Amino acid sequence: MFQDRYSLAFKLYPYKRSADQDADTPVRHPVVVMGGGPIGVATALDLGLQGIPVVVLDDHEGIGMGSRAICFSKRCLEVADRYGCGEPMLEKGVVWNLGKVFHEDRKVFEFNLLPEEGHKYPAFINLQQPYFEKFIVDRVREAQADGAPIELRGKNRVDSIDVRDDHVVLRVMTPDGAYTLEADWLIGCDGANSPLRSMLGLDFTGRVFKDSFLIADIRMKAEFPTERWFWFEPSHGSGASTLLHKQPDDTWRIDFQIGWDVDRAEEIKEENIRRRLDAMLGPDIEYEMVWSSIYTFQCKRMDRFRHGRVIFAGDAAHQVSPFGARGANSGMQDVDNLGWKLSLVITGKAPESLLDSYDEERIHGADENILNSTRSTDFITPKSAISHIFRNAVLDLAEHYEFARPLVNSGRLSLPCTYDGLSLNGPDALPGGPSRTRVGSPCPDAPVGDGFLLPRLGNDFQILTIGAEAPEMLEEDGVTARRFAISASDDPTGVLAERYLGDASAAVYLIRPDQHVAARWPAFDETAMRTALRKACGKD
């Protein structure tokens, strides 16, 4: 009755009988999250830290073996930092800046991510997904100890649901048998094959790519540098393209493109994986296999992420190819976007329609991610003879000419999206204000005093004043915005002024709880601020 679909790296929430299973009538919870992957657990953490009771149901008892995601972006880490679990990720993760691109056996060029100064987090870290997930669960445990109303229920599999106007009824299977549970809101974080989507008969549309990839995570002491190496058509013949990337614990990710018509059962045999690895690494390098898997991928999304009282997030809502590391990274941005909105709706401070902006903003994000990862995939695995000719022409030219290098696409690394022109945006009324902090943007980090700006922003609405006056607090229809004031002396490096003032001499920003810019002006104007705050909460 209860068969694990995968083995565990960390058993973190063993099955325990809950009082709900013995209740005479089904117990109603404000929020139930279906799926305890990184996105489900982060959703619970976001809501729990805001005091909203939340129950996570997962059909396993912890985090799956095998790394899957390894590349976590700055924005993803900043979201984790807001929840209090970014620092352990940074500490464990590997920071890299240098990438090399090869074609056949020649190095075509190398690039440096050239990290911009003045950010708490680097552009990227490499970290095995199980660690990423474990740090989130660790933070949940800490928050629970401080009273956050979060429950993680292992071996609780949602088998069917019944959606009503103002709640959802769930049928949950456990090792002790089935029970019924009710939720005012159900968040679907049950992964790319989402059973919830099927239960609701909802479509998942897009492109399937006809290629398969073999991943091998290996442990070796070899002296490869901490760089990203990408081979197009490597002459060692181990695959049509190959990626080598460093992870913590002397572990390396190697990803071989092996074609569509392959015998998977044959390819996944250790001796066959070793043959590819030996061809690539040379015969004298010793290594130990940590994990391997064959995957294919799709770029797909749901037409809408919100269906009444059921809301989808993470891979369940959208799936991208791994090139560009946009899966977990964009899922974390879903959570960042949904948490504060759902909390305002549940506490009666904003209308239910605010949740439609989650749909609007995150579909915008998903489309951007799908576009970028589709383009990378088309470059890496050309679909036609002519596309292959152009791809190789770009590589030939890139070896000699700088102009062709921006055309080489071995994965465009994930950047957060800006909600340009969307419904919650207020006025972008700061003459001379920088484009990167325009309304809709995620706030870029900057040094403030002896720390950083982002850890001071978020969780609530804030009025960020830079060399400008404003009241310490403002309340509009139940929603408060607190002031965070910065003066020239807090910005010794001038980086903050460069990122937030541009040519302006002073500025007032309205910042959303997810650290996106809601509106900005040169000075505080109470009426304008109140109007923008209402708009950012989906009112009128």
Partner 1 sequence: MSTLNLKPNIEDPDGFYADLIGAHEGLSDAESAALNARLVLLFANHIGDRDILRKAIKAASNPGKET
Ligand X SMILES: Cc1cc2nc3c(=O)[nH]c(=O)nc-3n(C[C@H](O)[C@H](O)[C@H](O)COP(=O)(O)OP(=O)(O)OC[C@H]3O[C@@H](n4cnc5c(N)ncnc54)[C@H](O)[C@@H]3O)c2cc1C
Q: How far apart are CA 8 and CA 66, in angstroms?
A: 9
> 195 touches which of partner 1, ligand X, none (CB within 5 to 8 A by kind)?
ligand X
392 binds partner 1 (CB under 8 A): no
Contact flag: residue 181 with ligand X (CB under 6 A): no
Joined tokens for residue 274: 């070793």
**Cα 175 from chain centroid (whole Å):** 32
- Least Å from the CB of residue 459 to partner 1: 35
331 near ligand X, rule: CB under 6 A: yes
| Cβ(251)–Cβ(244) below 8 Å | no
Residue type, 531: T
Sign (positive or negative) of CA dihedral 3, 270, 373, 77: positive
- Quick one: 327 or 447, whose CB is closer to ligand X? 327
Segment contacting partner 1 (CB under 8 A): 115-123, 164-172, 377-385, 439-447? 377-385
Q: Is 36 in the site for ligand X (CB under 6 A)?
A: yes
Whether 170 and 179 have beta carbons less than 8 Å apart is answered as: no
State whether residue 152 is helix, strand or coil. Answer: strand
Q: How far apart are CA 435 and CA 499, in angstroms?
A: 9
| Alpha-carbon gap, residue 328 to 40, rounded angstroms | 11
Q: Is 35 in the site for ligand X (CB under 6 A)?
A: yes
Query: In terms of Cα–Cα distance, which of 358, 361, 368, 371 is closest to 312?
Result: 358
Buried b (16+ CB within 10 A) or exposed e, 439-455: bbbbbbbbbbeeebbbe
What 3-state DSSP class applies to 312?
strand
Q: Closest Cα partner for 374 from 300, 439, 309?
A: 300
Residue 375 or 530: the one with the smaller Cβ distance to partner 1 is: 375
CB atoms within 10 A of CB 540: 7
Contacting partner 1 within 396-455 (CB under 8 A)? 396-397, 399-403, 405-407, 409, 412
Q: Site map for partner 1, 315-354, x if CB under 8 A? A: ----------------------------------------
Q: Does 38 bind ligand X (CB under 6 A)?
A: yes
Q: How far is the CB of 105 from ligand X (least distance, A)?
A: 26
Given the complex with ligand X, which of 59 and 445 has the nearer CB atom? 59
Find the farthest-apart pair of alpha carbons in the chain and give their distance in angstroms, rounded: 74
Q: Where does this chain touch partner 1 (CB under 8 A) — which range of 250-258, 395-403, 473-481, 498-506?
A: 395-403
Using CB under 6 A as the binding rule, whether residue 246 contacts ligand X is answered as: no
Residue 485 interacts with which of partner 1, ligand X, none, CB < 5 to 8 Å by class: none
**Could you tell me how many residues of this chain bind ligand X (CB under 6 A)?**
33
Which CB sits closer to partner 1, 251 or 374?
374
Using the rule CB under 8 A, which residue among 160, 296, 353, 387 binds partner 1?
Answer: 387
Residues binding ligand X (CB under 6 A): 34-40, 57-60, 68-71, 129, 157-158, 189-191, 195, 215, 295, 314-316, 322, 325, 327-329, 331
